[in-house]
């Protein structure tokens, strides 16, 4: 049995996934724009709804691709004499995967988690700057209501203001992107692990895969510089 057509279809589905990822990136930037511009909380919440809809599409697409891949692998293993009903087998596996869906799945979507994290950081940076935003501040954790000092803008490696800050998902500390990546590359060549450069941090294995752009902090730095 030739699976060339199936492989081609899977490739097309993966392209669709990239469109979903792009949509989630755009929704995240729009939400951050809204917070920075002190728009109504309702407008920001609408972006969260959009993110959850994208997460649902991503989950459904992942399940469908997984159903196809498992069906193909099963046929390759069993090598049936007659060509099976691929459509039925895929649908059966897809339905089984979808039956285990829950709302918590969507909230574990990596891009949705990044969206929530950046939204929290954005509120931390900008909500205190609004004169009439007491209600919004009350909805935020107490630690967020504390005014951020410019020390948060300084990279622990270069000791200079960050231009492209990245956040470590494991310990939460931020660094200048080029500086931390250079250290990781150097230590990798030496076959050694990288300890978090932030003084007092016990995290001893910083990896490039754990770093994500801190868009909220970058906007706060840019805003401070404009002022």
Note down pLDDT in tens along the chain; length 227 residues: 567 778 888 888 888 999 999 999 999 999 999 998 887 788 889 999 999 999 999 999 999 999 999 998 888 888 887 878 888 999 999 999 999 999 899 999 999 999 999 999 888 877 655 544 455 445 544 444 344 445 689 999 999 999 999 999 999 999 999 999 999 999 999 999 999 999 999 999 999 999 999 999 999 898 888 87
Distance CA 160, CA 217 (A): 14
Q: Which two tokens stand for residue 42?
A: 């309702």
Q: Which H or E run includes 166?
A: strand 165-168
Sheet with 211-213, strands from edge to edge, namely 174-176, 165-168, 211-213
Residue-level pLDDT at 127? 65
Residue-level pLDDT at 223? 85
Residue-level pLDDT at 150? 55
Residue-level pLDDT at 2? 64
Residue-level pLDDT at 176? 97
165-225: what fold?
Herpes Virus-1 (3.30.40)
Q: Which H or E run includes 168?
A: strand 165-168
Q: Which H or E run includes 167?
A: strand 165-168
Q: Which H or E run includes 213?
A: strand 211-213
pTM of the model: 0.75
Token pair 């969260």 is found at 48
């Amino acid at each position: 049995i030739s699976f060339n057509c199936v492989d081609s279809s899977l490739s097309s589905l993966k392209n669709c996934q990239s469109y979903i990822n792009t949509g989630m990136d755009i929704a995240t930037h729009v939400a951050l724009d809204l917070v920075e511009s002190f728009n109504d909380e309702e407008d920001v919440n609408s972006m969260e709804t959009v993110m959850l809809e994208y997460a649902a599409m991503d989950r459904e697409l992942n399940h469908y691709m997984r159903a196809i891949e498992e069906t193909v692998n099963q046929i390759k293993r069993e090598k049936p004499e007659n060509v099976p009903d691929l459509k039925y087998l895929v649908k059966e596996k897809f339905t089984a995967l979808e039956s285990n869906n829950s709302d918590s799945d969507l909230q574990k979507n990596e891009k949705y988690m990044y969206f929530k994290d950046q939204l929290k950081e954005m509120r931390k940076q900008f909500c205190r700057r609004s004169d009439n935003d007491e209600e919004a501040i009350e909805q935020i954790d107490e630690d967020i209501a504390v005014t951020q000092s410019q020390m948060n803008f300084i990279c622990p490696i270069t000791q200079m203001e960050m231009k492209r800050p990245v956040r470590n998902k494991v310990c939460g500390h931020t660094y200048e992107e080029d500086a931390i990546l250079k250290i990781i590359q150097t230590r990798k060549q030496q076959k050694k692990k990288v300890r978090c450069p932030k003084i007092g941090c016990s995290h001893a294995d910083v990896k490039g895969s754990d770093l994500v752009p801190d868009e909220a902090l970058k906007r706060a730095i840019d805003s401070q510089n404009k002022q």
